Structure 1
C-alpha cells in the first residue's frame, strides 16, 4: 500500500466506519435492501459518481471512467443483504430489527466498495471504466442471477468482474485465493417416502416409510464414499426430517420427508450426486414396499476463478499487504456464493480477506452466527485492495 494511498484512506476511516455501523444497525434481507441502497446511491451521488438503480429490484450500479481515456471495463461487486438471524451482540451498533442481522459481513463489503468508489472518484488515474456493482439478495435468493437477467452486463459491459468476502479465522488483513474452483455448487434435494402407515404395535398390517427413510439417510453417505472420485471433493448432508406427530408415538406415519444439501465442484460430480440420490430413493423405497418421490433443485453453481484474473487479484493483494500475507493457493471451500453466476458470464476472480481471530480458540465468531461482527480494522485494507486491483487491471498511476 503506497504512502499516498494510505494517507488518503486514513482520512476516510471515521466516515467509513460510521457507514458500516449504520448499515449493521439497520439490516435488510433479500430484495428488501431499500434503505441500504439509498445510502449507497446517496454516497455515490455525493462523490459525483453516476448511478443506476433497480437491477435486481434493489441493486445499485455506479460507474467511474478513468481520466486516461478508453480502455477495458471491469466490474467490482459487493453484496448488501443481511440474514434472518437474531443478533446476540450488545455493542452500540447491534441490529435494531429483531430476527435480522448482518451475520455475514455484507455491511463491511458494501462499505469497502464505497470507500474504493470515493478514492477512485477523486483520483481516477486509469484508462477505462469501473462499474461498482452493489448487489442484493446473495443469501440464498440469487441476487446476482437476477441482476444478470435484468440486463446487468448488457447495460454495463465488463471484460472482467471481481468479488471479495471476509473470512473469520484468517488473520486480519491477510488474503486467500486460488485459480479454478474456489467454492462449491450448492443444491437442495427433497425426498418423500410414502407407505400406508399403521399401528405401531402391528407394523405387519401396513407399510412403514420410516424404514426406507432411515436406510436412505445412511445410504446417502455411500455416494461420496463410493461414487465420487477420491481425488475430488463433495458433500451430501441431511438437514431436515419430518414424520408423524409428536403426541402419537404409537402411530406409524404414512409419509416421511427428508431434505438436505449437496455440494460439488465439477459439472460431472454435480450430475452424479443428482442421479445417485434419485436412484437410492427409488431403489430403497421399492425394497421396503413403499413409494418414493424426489426433487433436486440446482441453486448456486460452483464458483470458478479464471487463472488470468486470479493472477491480477494476487498482484493487487500483494501490492496492498505484501507477499507474505497473500495465500495464492488456498484450499477451496464447500460454502457457496452467488457471485458464481457472474463468473459463469464473465472471467474474474473472488478473493477472501481475513476478518481475524481463531475458530479453534474461540477468539472469533464465524459467519452466520449470532455473535459475528465484521472487523472494522480491515475496512481500509479492503478499500486499498479494490483500488490496487483497478490499477492492476487498468493502469498504474
Structure 2
C-alpha cells in the first residue's frame, strides 16, 4: 500500500463515521492517535473535541498554524459509495473528511523533514458548520497555547477543476448573519378576514420588500445577499393564524453594508407589519465575520504552490458569498484561506448535497501544498 493509498483509507474511514458539531469524539480519537504515531506532541480539549499536533525544529520561536475542520452535516447520504456513512441522517457532505486526511498526511510528511527552524501546529477544529468552533477555540486560548505568526486553511472546491487553486488578498468569503421575524396579529375565520389582521399577507409583503434592500438600499457597486429561507404560519384551510415566522440569512463583505442590511431588515419588518395592523419582533444574529486574507500570507501560498510546478495552478475567482468560521482565526492572527480545486466535471454535486463525495485525487495535492508551505515558512535563513 502506498502512502496515498493509506491516506485515502483514512479518508474513507472518516467518511463512514460522520459526527456532528461538538460530537466529533471518535474523529478526534482517530486524529490524535495518528498524530502521536507520527511523533507529534498532541494537545486535546480546545472547544471540547479539538486536537492540535505540534512539531518543532531548532530553537526559533517562529511558528505557523494549519487548520482543518472535522464536523459532518445532518444530511442523509445518497452517494452509494462502498464507504458511505454508517450513521443514518449524518454525512460528510462538505469534504471535511478530506481536509482531515490531507492535514494528517501533511503532518506525517513534515515529521520526516530535517533542517527546518521553528514550529508548526496542525489544528483540527470542531463545529465549523454554523456552530462557531473556530471562535470557541480562539476564545479558549488557541493562540496563547500555540502562538502562530500566521494561520492557514483551505476548502476543497468542486466548482474549480482538479489541479487548480483560488486565493486572493482581502475578502475570500462573506460575513454571515441569520434573522427571524415573528409577525403577530389577530386571527380570524378564512371567510371573514376583516375580523382579523392577516399575518400571512403582512409576512408576504415583508418577504417581497426585503428583496429591495440589495437592489434599492445598497450602492450598486457593493455586494450583499438577503434571503428568506423559511416561512411558517397557519395550520389549516379556513383559519387565518395569529402568528407567522420568517427566517433567513444575510451576507456581506464590508461592515457598513452589514450595518445597513441589519437596519433595513428591522425597519422593513416592523413598518410593514404595523401597516397591516400587526407587530413584528425581529431577532438578528451576526454569526461569522468576513474571511479576509492577509496579502503577505497569500504570497506564501502562491510560492508554496509554485514549488509543486504544473501540478497546481492558480485561477482567479470572485469572492464567495458562503461563510467560514476560519474568519475568527484570521481576525486573531494574519493568514490566508484558499480553495483547492477538486472538480471533475460541470455535473459534480455541490457542497452540502446528499450526493457529494470528496474527490480523493485532491489528497496528494493538499498534502504536498501544506508540506511545501511548512518548508517555505520554516526553512533555515541562509
TM-score bucket of the superposed structures, by smaller chain: over 0.9
Partner of 1:161: 151
- CA change 1:396–1:233 in 2 (3 A) is farther
Partner of 1:380: 364
Pairing partner for 1:88 from 51, 59, 78: 78
TM-score (norm 1): 0.93
How many residues were matched structurally?
Answer: 381
Partner of 1:251: 239
| Counterpart check, 1:367 vs 2:374 | no
Distance 2:180 2:82 in 1: 41
Distance 2:359 2:61 in 1: 35
Partner of 1:336: 323
Q: CA deviation at 1:303?
A: 0.4
Taking the TM superposition and a 5 Å limit, the aligned residue runs for 1:52-67 are: 52-67=43-58
Taking the TM superposition and a 5 Å limit, the aligned residue runs for 1:63-74 are: 63-67=54-58, 69-74=59-64
Partner of 2:210: 220
Taking the TM superposition and a 5 Å limit, the aligned residue runs for 1:1-397 are: 11-67=2-58, 69-245=59-235, 248-322=236-310, 325-327=313-315, 329-359=316-346, 362=347, 364-395=348-379
Distance 1:396 1:202 in 2: 81
Distance 2:61 2:374 in 1: 12
Q: CA deviation at 1:320?
A: 2.0
Distance 2:97 2:187 in 1: 50
- CA change 1:396–1:224 in 2 (3 A) is farther
User: CA contact under 8 A between 1:170 and 1:358: conserved in structure 2?
Assistant: no
User: CA contact under 8 A between 2:179 and 2:282: conserved in structure 1?
Assistant: yes
TM-score (norm 2): 0.97
In structure 1, runs of 5+ residues without a counterpart are: 1-9
Q: CA deviation at 1:126?
A: 1.8
User: CA contact under 8 A between 1:174 and 1:321: conserved in structure 2?
Assistant: no
Distance 1:144 1:351 in 2: 17
Which secondary structure does the structure 1 equivalent of 2:274 belong to? Answer: helix
Which secondary structure does the structure 2 equivalent of 1:261 belong to? Answer: strand
- CA change 1:178–1:92 in 2 (3 A) is same
User: CA contact under 8 A between 1:71 and 1:394: conserved in structure 2?
Assistant: no
Distance 2:271 2:309 in 1: 55
Distance 2:245 2:257 in 1: 25
Distance 2:318 2:379 in 1: 30
Partner of 1:6: none
User: CA contact under 8 A between 2:163 and 2:312: conserved in structure 1?
Assistant: no
Q: CA deviation at 1:323?
A: 9.0
Q: CA deviation at 1:200?
A: 1.2
User: CA contact under 8 A between 1:193 and 1:291: conserved in structure 2?
Assistant: yes
Q: CA deviation at 1:169?
A: 2.0
Distance 2:20 2:278 in 1: 41
Distance 1:125 1:373 in 2: 38
Distance 1:382 1:241 in 2: 41
Superimposed CA distance per residue, residues 58-92 of structure 1 (whole angstroms, 9 cap, x where no aligned partner):
0000111124x414211000011111100012221
User: CA contact under 8 A between 2:21 and 2:128: conserved in structure 1?
Assistant: yes
Distance 2:114 2:255 in 1: 40
Distance 2:231 2:343 in 1: 36
Which secondary structure does the structure 2 equivalent of 1:62 belong to? Answer: strand
Distance 1:55 1:313 in 2: 27
Superimposed CA distance per residue, residues 359-389 of structure 1 (whole angstroms, 9 cap, x where no aligned partner):
3xx2x11110011111111111100000111
- CA change 1:198–1:83 in 2 (3 A) is same
